Chains A and B, each alone.
Chain A
Amino acid sequence: MDKLKHIGLIVGMAFVFFIFALLIIYVEDPFLDSKVTTGANILMDEWRQLFRYWAVFGISTAVLAALIWYAWGQWTVNLNDWTKANKKRIVWLLFLLLPCCAFLMGWLLTPPIQEGAIFVTAFYLANNLAVYLLATVFFSPSSFKYTPWGAVTLRRGW
């Protein structure tokens, strides 16, 4: 049971990653194509490829952070009483630094553009935070399932 449960939760995290990868490729990228003006020195196609690269890098980092959080919570802490888990929120927030760093990397290394930069920033930030949040809210180990922000509301009664 334990094995299947772990696999199920980890597959769930992968599912969140997959959904956001689809979102990046089929929604955000075409949307930016209609909003962004690149200016000189780079083709729009090359810029979009870089955006996709850094966006996927960002959500990969976010899901990796969620996986590390899962592994830490499940196999390192060995906490039996979930009511004590809230003290570990600081750790959850520390893991949140990883997607934040990935956001900064993407934001700094994506070539500058003339117009539409606000959307790019918003997408990078939203993708990374949402993947980490959704992956940890829905798929945290049992003892820490209420630790992520919003989990109490979303997982109330379960």
Chain B
Amino acid sequence: MEPASVPSVMAKAARKACSVSPFVQSAAAQATAPFAKEEGGRKPAKHDESLTVSLQSLRYPERFYAVSNSYLAFMRIITKHISSTFRVHEIRALTALTLFCLLTGMGFSSCASKRLPPPAEPERRFSPVSEALKVDLFFDATLSMQGFVRTPENSYYQRMIPLLERGVIEGWRGGEASFYEFGDDIAPLPGRDYLDAARPTFYSNSKYNKKTFIERVIDRAQLDHLTIIITDLFQDNADVNQLSEKLKQKFIVNNLAVGVMAVRSQYLGVVYDVGAENYSFGYTSKEKPETGRPFYLLAFGSHANIAHYFATLGNSGLNAFPEKHVLILSSFLTSEPSPFTSTKLKIADKLSEISSSNVFARNYSGEQVKAFKITKGQAKAKFSTDWAYQPLPDGLDHSSELTPIIQGWKGEDTGARELFPSENLQALKALTITAKLLPENAPYDRLQVAGDINVVNFPSAGLYFYRILLRPARYSLPHWVAVWNMGEGEIEKWHLHPADFDGSKTYNLENFLGTLQGAVLNTTPPEVSEIYCYIRVDK
């Protein structure tokens, strides 16, 4: 069939419109104008003569009606024009192509996979230094401590005493320091009385100077305060076990830390209660700092507050003391969570990293997640990455090898909006993680993680989710602890030759700190990193 000519179609539309209103006549006439020229200057239709109708005379409903009809007429003209310009099979081909695109696109869009909930917030978070803090300081008032203040010159112990309050005032804007003396009992030291601890008379009170009951101080300590005990730490085996247990129950299980600042000071006096037989030895330190007798600041509170207090003391003057060590036993090895998400992969073989928003059903702002996609047909895939690692200063000493503890889940579709994470032992076989700290010996500054994925071991296609805890394979006490420790075997020799007594060591120090470290590792094992891997597998 011959397609209708465009001008004749437009003329028809105009004639139809003519029966409606003069306004429509005008519109239709304007629409046909260009075509009239093409048809060889054919005479305009006679109804064109009646186009001089004032639009003002139209009432609003009529005008609306007229405009609608004019629009419909125009659309009809356009449609006819298209049908006259293109052949039917061309229009069909284009329509088919359009429909194919839209339908396939809709098909792909509807295939959007369900997602898993993001990982839960970590149970333990490193709390920052408190804005304001109450610090309770307890002086060991037993007789053994007297030797620190009987030296001819101002000993390091004596020089340290005024710094204790200064450390609190300088360390915290709203810091409050309270002082106590303890031994057989505990008594407050009001006002500036604590400065008496620099005089021998302070240690002469028979009410306090017999036995060092540190455990009583621990009982009295408040968890929201920072508690500091200044002592020579002479404890027998029974004391050590009791003390460690108390510290564990009071502080460690509550995610608090135990800090030790060990300082060697000049000494002139008698050391009491040495060894199981409670021997007493006179001791005078020599000029060499390493011959000084150790005293300790035991600190109980949050890791950040302890570290901040020790750092403030150091800056106030303690850093000038030649023989000084710090150890903080806590469940934290680093204060910063791993920046796993933003770390670039060094190796990614047979897998693609995808944005975690592709696998999370909800928003997640953490930095511990990486999401991967493994396409169909892969048997093995692997990735590796490393990032800067910042260990907390004076923390637990540990090996560079790390032990990964992996838990695996598969996202199960239960019909809900998001997948349900179901623990999957089979999925555990699919992921092997190896991790280590670099360089090989401390101080470590990088953490390297590599993952080997055995795709065949995934039970089926789907979305898998792994929680990976990286813990040091081995821990050890710092080297100075063994050097400063007084062994049982030496005590019997010194009993026979008292002049050989080495007062630069502390009885049972290694046992005490080792037991405390064990309590921390068993109760709240520290992590180098906690990371999550989401893997979408096509099989």
Contacts and interface: CB of A to CB of B under 8 A. Distances in A.
Interface of A: 1-5, 8-9, 15, 19, 22-23, 25-27, 30-31, 33-45, 47, 114-116, 138, 154-155, 157-158
A154 B354 contact: no
A132 B106 CA distance: 26
21 contacts: A1-B34, A8-B81, A9-B85, A19-B97, A22-B101, A23-B105, A26-B105, A34-B375, A36-B352, A36-B375, A37-B352, A37-B375, A38-B348, A40-B345, A44-B354, A45-B354, A45-B355, A115-B350, A138-B86, A155-B87, A157-B87
Given A26-B104, A138-B86, A43 B351 contact: no
B348 A39 contact: yes
A8 B108 CA distance: 32
B492 interface: no
Contacts of B349: 39, 114
A82 to B, nearest CB: 16
Contacts of A19: 94, 97-98, 101
Contacts of A2: 34, 38
Given A37-B375, A40-B347, A27 B105 contact: yes
A25 to B, nearest CB: 7
Given A8-B82, A44-B354, A22 B105 contact: yes
B105 A43 contact: no
A31 B34 CA distance: 47
B109 interface: yes
A133 to B, nearest CB: 13
B323 interface: no
A39 B102 CA distance: 31
B354 A5 contact: no
A37 B353 contact: no
Contact of A1 (B6, B94, B353, B358): B6
Given A19-B94, A115-B350, 15 more contacts: A4-B34, A8-B82, A9-B85, A31-B108, A33-B373, A34-B375, A36-B352, A37-B378, A40-B348, A41-B345, A41-B348, A44-B352, A47-B352, A114-B349, A116-B375
A8 B85 contact: yes
B108 A30 contact: yes
Contact of A114 (B98, B101, B350): B350
B355 to A, nearest CB: 4
Contact of A158 (B81, B87, B353, B376): B87
Q: Is the interface of A mostly helix, strand, loop or mixed?
A: helix
Contacts of B496: none
B76 interface: no
A10 B371 CA distance: 45
Contacts of B105: 22-23, 25-27
Interface string B96-132: 0110011011101101000000000000000000000
Interface string B459-502: 00000000000000000000000000000000000000000000
Contacts of B108: 26-27, 30-31
B173 interface: no
B375 A1 contact: no
Contact of A43 (B6, B86, B94, B353): B353
A127 B63 CA distance: 48
B353 to A, nearest CB: 5
B344 interface: yes
A1 B90 contact: no
A1 B35 contact: yes
Interface in B322-372: 344-355, 358
B538 interface: yes
B102 to A, nearest CB: 7
A37 B87 CA distance: 44
B34 A40 contact: no
Contacts of B86: 138, 158
B37 interface: yes
A19 B100 CA distance: 10
B358 A45 contact: yes
Nearest to B346: A40
Given A1-B6, A40-B345, A115 B375 contact: yes
B354 A155 contact: no
B28 to A, nearest CB: 15
Contacts of B90: 138, 154-155, 158
Given A1-B6, A1-B37, A34 B538 contact: yes
A17 to B, nearest CB: 12
A34 B376 contact: yes
Contacts of A23: 101, 104-105
Contact of B351 (A25, A37, A41, A47): A37
Nearest to B77: A4
A26 B101 contact: yes
Contacts of A1: 6-7, 34-35, 37-38
A3 B34 contact: yes
B375 A35 contact: yes
Contacts of A43: 352-355
A39 B352 contact: yes
Of listed A25, A38, A47, A116, residue having the most chain B CB within 10 A: A38
Interface in B356-408: 358, 373, 375-376, 378, 383
Contacts of B94: 15, 19, 138
A34 B345 CA distance: 21
Contacts of B352: 36-39, 43-44, 47
B350 A27 contact: no
B348 A26 contact: no
Interface string B19-44: 00000000000000011011000000
